[in-house]
Amino acid sequence: MPPFFSGKRLRRWMRPAWLGTLRRVSPISEEWGFDRGTPVDRYYIERFLQTYRADIRGRVLEVKDSTYTHRFGTAVVEQEVIDINPANRRATIVADLSAADGVSDDAFDCIVLTQTLQFIFDVQSAVVHTRRMLKPEGVVLATVPSVSRIAPRYGLTTDFWRLTAASCNRLFGGVFGADNVVVQPYGNVLTSIAFLTGLAAEELSTAELDKLDEYFPLIVTIRAVKR
């Protein structure tokens, strides 16, 4: 055996990595971890929305349902739900966010846009329409995956993107202006592995969850203001 192979073997045994129950080729959960507790990405999404809950006010638009508007909204006067699917009975607006010309300009004080942009091929147009629909000084609170499995339902045909802090800064900064955008990655290598395998947030410690490593983001959050 060549010397460099034996050297690699030696280094590996000096710091062994025990995969344990993760040494498998299928996830522990097929439901993102919902069947075990709180999905790891939701821990960060909810932390982000809690931080900026004062922005969720006035007339609020959320995608698919109004769960987060109810949970985190403050002084919400009116809530709307947008969805491309006309069969969604919760939707008050049926529209493709990347071609939402039928939705009025300057209509909303806040748009809650969590884990949505990865399903929109023309993601730049979606961000342009999002800004257009906001009132002056209105805020969009968005989250996108940086690490994630393909969505099981329709994902093979409609799950298009994984984004980074750099792409989010370029994307939202180009539409809203760089000074009006705050981008924050959340996660680390452990939480990314846990999410991919379907572990729940409750199976990790708070210290493990709250360790942020910008080189291993699980999700990226964006707060953008229409000036």
pLDDT tens readout for residues 5-45:
555 555 655 666 676 778 889 999 999 999 999 999 999 99
Helix (H, G, I), strand (E, B) or coil at 110: strand
- pLDDT tens digit sequence for 46-73: 999 999 999 999 999 999 999 999 999 9
Q: Provide the 8-state DSSP code for 151.
A: P
**pTM over the 0.85 mark:** yes
Distance, CA of 25 to chain centre: 25
Residues paired with residue 62 on neighbouring β-strands, in sequence order? 81, 112
Statement: residue 217 has pLDDT above 80: yes
- Kindly report the length of the chain: 227
Q: Provide the 8-state DSSP code for 39.
A: B
CA-closest candidate to residue 108, choices 59, 49, 38: 59
State how far the Cα of 121 lies from the Cα of 37, in Å rounded to an integer.
Answer: 31
List of domains in the chain: 41-185+219-225 (3.40.50.150)
